[in-house]
Amino acid sequence: MASNALDLYYMPYTHGLAACFVWCAVVALGYKLVRRAERGWRAGLIVGLTVFSHWVLDWLVHRPDLPLYDDTLKVGLGLWNHPALAFVLEAGLLLGGLQLYLRTTSPVGTAGRYGMPMFAIVLLLVQVSWYAGAAPSSPRAVAISGLVSFVAFTGVVAWLENKRL
């Protein structure tokens, strides 16, 4: 299956606007259930809106391949056609989010002080490798590396989150 065919098959469910609203609700509810005693609905809604912000950012960088609903009316401004500009935007958002996170939390030990900034550097290096590296060998390789990276990065962030208050 060609990469474009794979993208077309999954795009409505992973990157569509209608699907994004479902993802936002699931994530907000999931966060509320996991953190029920510690956080209120407000925190869950903020986490859900963060998921929505991902769609907005995808709209900026994707070519017109993001369906608004089902697999129709596709949008995207195509910033990926200008890799340097896309990288600057993505790096700026990452570093801005990191700064906000570091200002609103307090470190517990060395890992709490340096862990997230070091992780941000790793994320920037991964992003550079996506822009400058060789094209993936197959859609399956993209899917596997994406899932492995997502699980690994989520584990690292969960561990680092426990190093800050």
What confidence tens digit (pLDDT) does each residue in 22-68 have? 999 999 888 888 876 566 678 888 888 988 998 998 899 988 988 88
Same domain? 71 vs 123: no
Same domain? 22 vs 71: yes
Where a domain ends, among 78, 112, 135?
A: 78
Place of tokens 């998921």: 51
The structure's pTM equals: 0.73
Where a domain ends, among 78, 109, 135?
A: 78
Same domain? 11 vs 65: yes
Please provide the size of the chain in residues.
Answer: 165
Same domain? 100 vs 54: no
- Strand ranges inside 14-128, DSSP E: 66-69, 72-75
Number of independent structural domains in the chain: 2
- Element housing 74 (H / E): strand 72-75
Domain residue limits at 71: 1-78
Sign of CA dihedral 122, 149, 6, 136: positive
Q: Reduced to 3 states, what is the DSSP secondary structure of residue 128?
A: helix
